[in-house]
């Protein structure tokens, strides 16, 4: 009996650690994606969007090949579900291209208005496709987080910019990308998933990227262009690892934290001063995320 009592905390600690670690990874991934979007917006003033998107995947692929030394371990590229890997890669490509087109015309925080409908789609699809059903409390937290985003963006009050359609496309591709990532982590390795997505997207974008190519005007532009790959690859590796250890419905609401990163970067890089409603909305978003963290701890203890 004493031994049983000693083992119980260990199981509880492990049950808490996996979701919490996954949440930490997804928050860091969102930070990487936010910086990537800020760089894409900055570069779009002097370079074509399709060129930026192509170089994001080319540098992503080269970095992953070197980092994982694929020439020594070709088995990393083996996959049990090649079709799903290709579909997932195109979902990532669609997310990136549409999001880069959106940030070219909209403020960083504005691009999140429709993108943040993603958790609804992910949570709804995770039940029938993954068997990961969300409870009432988690749905309430997701809805509260989305209300926070609406407070920040206030859609409809000033008229929706036509470029918002790009965010609709990005959100749709992102939701399916997240679901497919969770499915593939059950059978395929993280390194292989990262490399395959970079390879497929690089090849698919090559004709478009080459056709619009313009030489970057200065060294800073070159550095930032190459940095998009590092941020994209690093962020998606964190994204994959998060979905390997935590259910999709647990992670989905935490893309709302990206609104905080977007507001900060918009202010620091582009001088977009947050309004009172922006601060209030961001606080609601953070509160919804903290509530889910609390529920995960309570449920596991």
Each residue's pLDDT expressed in tens, for the chain with a length of 301 residues: 444 444 444 445 455 567 788 888 988 998 998 899 899 889 998 999 999 999 999 999 999 999 888 888 888 888 889 999 999 999 999 999 998 888 888 777 666 666 766 777 777 777 777 777 777 777 787 788 778 767 766 666 555 567 778 888 888 898 889 889 888 988 888 889 999 999 999 999 999 999 999 999 899 999 999 999 999 889 888 988 888 888 877 787 777 777 778 888 888 888 877 777 767 877 787 777 677 666 666 665 5
User: What's the CA gap between 301 and 288, in Å, rounded?
Assistant: 20
Question: Between the CA of residue 112 and those of 59, 203, 222, 246, 282, what are the distances in Å?
Answer: 25, 28, 27, 24, 12
Tracing tokens 């894409």 back to the chain, one arrives at 40
* pLDDT given at position 131: 75
* pLDDT given at position 5: 43
* CA-based nearest residue to 172, from 60, 93, 54: 93
Please answer whether residues 173 and 92 qualify as being in contact, where contact means their C-beta atoms are separated by less than 8 angstroms: yes
Please answer whether residues 107 and 269 qualify as being in contact, where contact means their C-beta atoms are separated by less than 8 angstroms: no
What φ, ψ does residue 191 adopt, rounded to 5°?
Answer: -60, -45
* pLDDT given at position 231: 93
User: What's the CA gap between 260 and 16, in Å, rounded?
Assistant: 25
Q: pTM for the complete prediction?
A: 0.73
Question: Between the CA of residue 13 and those of 37, 79, 135, 239, what are the distances in Å?
Answer: 36, 33, 22, 23
In this structure, what token pair is assigned to residue 299?
A: 């449920």
């Amino acid at each position: 009996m004493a031994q049983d009592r000693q083992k119980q905390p260990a199981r509880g600690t492990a049950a808490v650690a996996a979701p919490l670690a996954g949440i930490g990874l997804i928050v860091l991934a969102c930070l990487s994606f936010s910086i990537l979007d800020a760089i894409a917006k900055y570069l779009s003033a002097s370079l074509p969007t399709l060129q930026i998107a192509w170089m994001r995947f080319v540098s992503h692929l080269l970095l992953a090949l070197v980092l994982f030394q694929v020439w020594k371990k070709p088995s990393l590229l083996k996959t049990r579900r090649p079709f799903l890997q290709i579909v997932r890669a195109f979902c990532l490509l669609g997310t990136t291209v549409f999001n880069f087109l959106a940030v070219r015309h909209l403020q960083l925080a504005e691009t999140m208005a429709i993108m943040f409908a993603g958790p609804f789609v992910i949570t709804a699809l995770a039940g029938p496709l993954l068997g990961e059903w969300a409870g009432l409390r988690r749905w309430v937290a997701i809805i509260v987080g989305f209300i926070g985003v609406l407070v920040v963006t206030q859609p409809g009050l000033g008229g929706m910019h036509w470029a918002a359609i790009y965010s609709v496309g990005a959100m749709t591709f992102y939701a399916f990308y997240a679901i497919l990532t969770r499915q593939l982590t059950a059978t395929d390795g993280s390194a292989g998933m990262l490399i395959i997505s970079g390879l497929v997207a690089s090849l698919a974008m090559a004709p478009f990227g080459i056709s619009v190519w313009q030489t970057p005007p200065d060294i800073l532009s070159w550095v930032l262009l190459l940095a998009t790959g590092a941020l994209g690859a690093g962020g998606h590796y964190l994204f994959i690892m998060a979905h390997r250890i935590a259910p999709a419905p647990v992670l989905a609401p935490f893309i709302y934290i990206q609104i905080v990163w977007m507001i900060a970067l918009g202010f620091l890089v582009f001088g977009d001063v947050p309004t009172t409603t922006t601060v209030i909305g961001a606080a609601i978003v953070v509160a919804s995320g903290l509530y889910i963290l609390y529920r995960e701890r309570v449920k596991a203890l």
